[in-house]
Amino acid sequence: MSAYFVVYLNVTEPDRFAEYFQVVMPVIKRRGGRLIAQGTPEVIEGTLSFKQAVLFEWRSRQDLLEYWHSDEYAQIKKLREGAAEFQAVVIESI
């Protein structure tokens, strides 16, 4: 069953975040993730404090979590720390 990884973020250091994005995207792809959408979310009801959103699709929740908790990503994640406010959620398909 597919899983969707939704990331909300506010980039605080664009150059550092761009470096992180360039490094992380090939790893996501190699581990089975696929970028579906990215951009400024349009709030149609309620409030959202994040200025950007990114949506990925993974073959399964397990594949996503194996990537997220991997030693490989732990090293890459250090590039993102301090470069963006970040919130991420996983949603499984039905």
- Whether 5 and 93 have beta carbons less than 8 Å apart is answered as no
Average pLDDT value for residue range 54-75: 97
**Angle at CA 2, nearest 5°, toward 32 and 61?**
75
The backbone region for 64, taken as left when phi is positive above 0, alpha when psi lies in -120 to 50, beta otherwise, is alpha
Confidence of residue 57 (pLDDT cuts 50, 70, 90): very high
Domains defined for the chain, CATH in brackets: 3-92 (3.30.70.100)
pLDDT one-digit tens code per residue, 20-54: 999 999 999 999 999 999 999 999 999 999 999 99
pTM of the model: 0.91
- Whether 79 and 23 have beta carbons less than 8 Å apart is answered as yes
